[in-house]
Structure 1
């Protein structure tokens, strides 16, 4: 059976103002194109301003609405300023896809340095904490919204090759669910997605450092292949849409059965 990762737009996100971090490549870039095609006004954030400019131009060429803001997720004040930029542009925020992350130098726990752990904490946990709170503050002004955080199937089990990365993603799952319970009465839904092996630049970089990683991940995936970035973004789009109005506190696997 031939598998297609493309689908005709359904207007799933029509009229929504959505903020995407890590939007310059991989899943974030795929989300930028998909969310815009589904009718959203997207504000894209990442460190790579050149890549963001190209994505914004492409979205606009196809009739979508997109803007970009430079963002270093290691800069707490910068995160809050980027979310404020969404308000400056559109006056509200309906949804946020917190997808930005930094990879870990592969290696077992005893070779993982304090510097590695601090980098993982700053970008893969604290940045999400800061972004979620800033996003929720803005959403409250217009009656609610939805937040989706990108976790990993590596957060659910031992992760001996990427121990700091797995630990911070597990912590992200916890605050995702805590926020979902805390903010549900205010009309703010908070969910996570947990991708498995996905055909992104980060995955290619990992395989370059540790040859055989991609092959091993494919072998461990019942679907027999890696996900395409758009396939992961499709799940985030649904969670951000009104179709998922009763879904909050979920960490949804997008892994071709690898965690089953």
Structure 2
């Protein structure tokens, strides 16, 4: 099998557990599986437990300018935007991603109007994925919302960019638990799930492959997708032009 070099890549995992450190996070246990692969491939890895930080709610880049006394988001965003890959980890609560995951998405959205050196939206050339843990149901539902949001703000999503583990219906042990109702569990819950292990591995490598391809090519070409060029094409008035028989869409865009 051909060996690939991913040593010039970096990844940030944002764990959106509702548990503050040093409490054990089941989502962290699944993140560890992916991180082990990343480290084996010499990728620079960083993990942020979102709830440990004083991140304000809102959809502006810095909420201290909008009534909040403190907001750690600007410093966290620097780490996220400097990474080639973002992986969002979340537990499932009532069939949905956690409130911390929703806050993260809202803060990413706050930055989506910013542009890169090519005039493209800031997250172009970055790759995103997600990891979900919980009981009963909701892995695909949570992944659907997270991955849609990431691509909407500009992240690129490779095939099978999600993975997860869920337990049986009703109360029960969670991923990585070694004890339940006084009984020891060995190996830890979910660790031998071929489905979870396979999907986690495929997700991790698909993220690496896409990130490597984008980085090697300097991201996406700016032809046809640059906000700066769009504004320059008609002094910022292109979208206000009326469409008639002499001003068809093809004519409007021919000089873009």
Q: State the structure with more CA Rg.
A: 2
Taking structure 2 as the reference length, the TM-score comes to 0.47
